[in-house]
Amino acid sequence: MISIIIPVYNKSNYIKDTLMSVLSQSITDIEVIVIDDGSTDNSLNIVEKIRENDHRIKLYVNPHKGVSFARNTGLKNASGEYITFIDADDTVAPDYLEQLLKYSKNDLVVSGLIEDNKSTNQKKIINAARREIFFGQFGRFIFNHDNFPIFSMAVTKLYSSKIIKDNQLKFRKSQFGEDTLFVMDYIVHCKNIRVIGYAGYINQILDQTLSRKYLENIWDIVVTIPNEANRLFNLKFNKGWQYLYVRSIKLSLLNNRNRPDVFKNGCKKIAQDPSFSYLKLVKAKNISDSILVCLIKFKLYSLLLRLYKSMY
């Protein structure tokens, strides 16, 4: 059986479509664990009404404590041999679970994602290179521009319930990157990973999602990802670590770009970070990364701010 964990917070416009896409799967041996995270809209009523006609839905109601707490409630109550996560404003193709289950002999199955941008009416497929990878290859394969985006999210994957429970894995409480940290925490306990070419998870790109909100002390939050990757996968400040670290710098600058004083102070904090000295320009993915690092290194924060404001 597959346990499907769906956290819900004020998604009354989307949760019905999400649940119907799950309940219509070609694989029927499932339990659908819905965790209402203290919704103040009609989300809970919608779920309760659908549950009346399909008892595969298990509903839990929490006070509002965030997506990590909600998902952890789901993990605690999951009884399936396999686990997958779906967000309450996304949908999945009818054969989504069937395609993942074909490769369930692997410790982790990773499928692709279709980004459906409603504001631009554009769709984009995100995936990693199709292959089976083994312990010892994970760091080199995952932490790069091509493959990391799909590994940074908790969805699109089939997890082993045994690995999660044996290692007492759970989502960390964080304002950003909790998906990535969970995936990394899980992968270090895997022997093999299968990346498949199939993309049946439809991610709706909506305005003002959590990842687009302004966050205070952003650098302290986002730098956790390269730091943890360095520790868990013994990257030794290699190209994979540099990719993650520069990515964290970009996220921090993007978050602060409309607050000049915060932007400049954020740049100073990055430059003072002990790991900043490990950046090697020769390892940069492209020239823009090298320019970014140089501007921070030589304290040209005002110029960097003008560049960011002109680009975004």
Reported as a single tens digit per residue, the pLDDT across 112-145 is 999 998 778 888 999 999 999 999 999 999 999 9
Reported as a single tens digit per residue, the pLDDT across 25-69 is 999 999 999 999 999 999 999 999 999 999 999 999 999 999 999
The pTM of the full predicted model, rounded to 2 decimals, is 0.94
Q: List own/partner pairs for 265-271 with CB under 8 A and 24 or more apart.
A: 266/218, 266/219, 267/296, 267/299, 267/301, 267/304, 268/299, 268/301, 269/219, 270/219, 270/296, 271/296, 271/297, 271/299
285 band by pLDDT with thresholds 50, 70 and 90: low
